[in-house]
Structure 1
Amino acid sequence: MAQVFTMNAQLLRYRQQQRRQREIASLEQRTFVRLHVRREEINRITRLSDTNCLWELRMDRNAFAVLCDLLQTRGGLVDDGQVTIEEQVATFVNILAHHNKNRSMQVRFFRSGETISRYVRRVLRTLLSLQDMLFAKPTPIPEDCTESRWKCFKLIIIGCLGALDGTYIGVTVPDVDRPRYRTRKGHIATNVLGVCTHDLKFVYVLSGWEGLATDSRVLGDAVTRANGLKVPTGTYYLVDSGYTNGEGFLALYRGTRYHLQEWENNSRAPRNHEEYFNMKHSRARNVIERCFGLLKRRWAILRSPSHYPIKIQGRMITACSLLHNFIRMYMAVDPKENARLAFDELPIGEDLPEVLAYIETVESSQIWTQWRDDLAREIYDQWRGRKA
């Protein structure tokens, strides 16, 4: 009886060993298959063709390689032996481009949800650390500018640096915070301030403000921040009528038509200097609307609320603007813009002289209002002279 019991115990141990060996072999096989499929997927996205890379990552293969090298050498992004640099960056950019959820990325790359989330946040931190490099340096409109959109605002004192405006981007917030993020139209969104140059590159982006906040309040916060918007004394940005017309910010005449649709749908010519100034101002300031349009067309995560924490959502908005600048710097043809924009065709402004002071407040100024009137009358008289 004891001998039979011993034989049964040995047989049981043998079967358990065989089962463990089969499980180990199966696990190794699954790991090998997953590694192979993962590599094939990354190669298909980033190395097979520019068409695939553009569709998946909004940039060609060369630009993607430059981005990976930039994040690694300048940002300090590391290949820790588990996830390669290419997979980290491709996962992050693909989420921004298509607003893919964590679960879909788990299935696609055979990764756990925790791994996907950890490396997305790592790439996000690294990209944000390169703001000084990727945000454009504003330059004033040169005196010899011949572009009809900008020549009215060419070098005066130092000159016009570009345009700024605010836009709403939908976000997901806790129920207790929803009233503060509710806009006038009832949407739950964050009020984002964007500042751009005349060649469609972002100079500064401030995200995170509640949708209830006014544009003027957001701009005031941006100017007073230690690392905020820097407007050298004597320069200015074009702003709409929702902002104060004061030093550094040239606004429209309120109460006078200025929307581009009003001019396109009505053949009546401007009747006075205020209408003509508003028309020229709107056509130049439209560059910031084009920037926002390109940004939202390129990155699907900005077109619908995501489920990341609100702080991460705000940082992703800034990251999208940085990648927008990167694409325009390293791709001769912007795939989301109709017109071809070659590097040698970009308008180049004059370098700013040594700056002694920056504008620290946003407030109305009688001197600035008088200067706007003088400028409006000057360009209106020039237009009437040419027309005569």
Structure 2
Amino acid sequence: MPNPPATLDALARIGWQGTLPAEEDGTRIARVIAQHRAGYELHDGTTAFNAQPAPRFLKPDVGPEARPAVGDFVRVTPAKPPLIEAILPRRSLLERAAAGERHRRQLIAANIDTVMIVCGLDGDFNPARIERYLLLVEGSGARACVVLTKADLAGDHTEPMAIVRERVPATVDVIAVNAKSTASVAPLLALLGPGTSSVLVGSSGAGKSTLTNTLLGETRQATQSVRANDSRGRHTTTSRALILLPSGGCLIDTPGMREIKLTGEETLDGAQFADIDALAAECRFGDCAHHGEPGCAVRAALDDGRLCTERWHNYLKLRDELAAAAESLEAQLRRKSESRVLTKALNKRLAEKYGRQ
């Protein structure tokens, strides 16, 4: 591991923003650029090196959100191997609920400025999935950009562009590209300037790795063709990795996501569905269920085409899923609290009977 502490200029090259925090004896700052089963890969703005997490990060009761993630800036001690001792405060964090019945978080990327939601203009095209991604992004602290790939194969893509534009907030950029063409992806460079960090998310086969290679100007990420019947791809990217781009920005490529599970802490009252909230506020009755009540502004908008039926159905689906996820989260927190109370009571009884050790 290099000895001199990383400078502000060096850390800015890997996405650090603002002034440096006060130095702490024996530690230096680096950024997590990859996570493997054997440990982490870090970069200090000059050199990449391997590191291990401090033992406290590996305790079973430490949740994923309290462990280092790709994109994190961390303090490292010069041990052999170097040890990650602390995670510096995050300016943003993109996460989802992990697959399975147990409620756990999966961190996707930390300290990012832009989440690029990649969707192919082929069988991968799915506006409802884009809305789901946008719901995750809203609470992350990062901005969203929808990147529609395979524009070269789609012919006239005016209609799908219009569909997406209708279903996302006006503040979200929607850009159609040929991911293999340097000229076509050039508009994305405005989001990938020096000191910025972006992450690519989307399904397998959407073109994330191809887009990464084009932005890099070289073939570094493996790519594979998609199945002809459904445009699905295999997981060519198997782990998250932060890559330094010639434009000066940092880009995190991620494996394709088959399931975009909500954490339960997202809300539907943000910009993503602001128009539906506005319509609901115009209903005659404050407790309108929008099923057929007189004076329902939502039903009127559905009937006259101002509100897209598919979008409304997706809104209801997300609402129900959020309610279930929030209930699951609350139940899990309640069980943890009850377990701590029982453990404390048991320890007290043991201490009274046998004395404190």
Q: Structure 2 length normalisation: TM-score?
A: 0.28
Which has a greater percent of strand? 2
TM-score when scaled to structure 1?
0.26
Larger Rg: 1
> Which has the bigger relative contact order, CA under 8 A and spacing at least 6?
1
